[in-house]
Amino acid sequence: SQQGEEDPQALSIQEGENATMNCSYKTSINNLQWYRQNSGRGLVHLILIRSNEREKHSGRLRVTLDTSKKSSSLLITASRAADTASYFCATVRRSGASGSRLTFGEGTQLTVNP
């Protein structure tokens, strides 16, 4: 079953605007990751934030994590048409020898209009 829930399910913005996507989860985690998926393609890893971190940046991406609320947000600044894709958050409950299975949410479909 899916642990994460993304909000909104779909988001349509104009090029140049910022896009914010939210993710909530239910259990304790080791880390939370965001992935991007273009239609019908594989997933591309965007950013990983550990459970003891609150904010992380990578280029135009900013991720926050609030473990007390079991939620995360992904902000894409100055969006481009090429950012159009589905965005998924994924949590890892444990890592180490037992592996780091990802539990994905249902995703947010982002459309950036030129």
Which of 19, 31, 71, 79 touches another protein by CB under 8 A?
A: 31
Label residue 70 left, alpha or beta by phi (over 0 means left) and psi (-120 to 50 means alpha): left
For residue 66, give both structure tokens.
């609030």
What residues from 42 to 81 belong to the interface with another protein (CB under 8 A)?
42-45, 48, 50-51
Tell me if 32 contacts another protein by CB under 8 A.
Answer: no
Q: How far apart are CA 34 and CA 107, in angstroms?
A: 10
Which of 60, 64, 83, 104 touches another protein by CB under 8 A?
A: 104
Q: How far apart are CA 16 and CA 9, in angstroms?
A: 21
The count of residues interacting with another protein (CB under 8 A) is: 31
3-class DSSP assignment, residue 103: strand
Q: How far apart are CA 95 and CA 85, in angstroms?
A: 28
Which of 19, 33, 76, 84 touches another protein by CB under 8 A?
A: 33
Footprint on this chain of another protein (rule: CB under 8 A): 2, 4, 30-31, 33, 35, 40-45, 48, 50-51, 88, 90, 92, 95-107
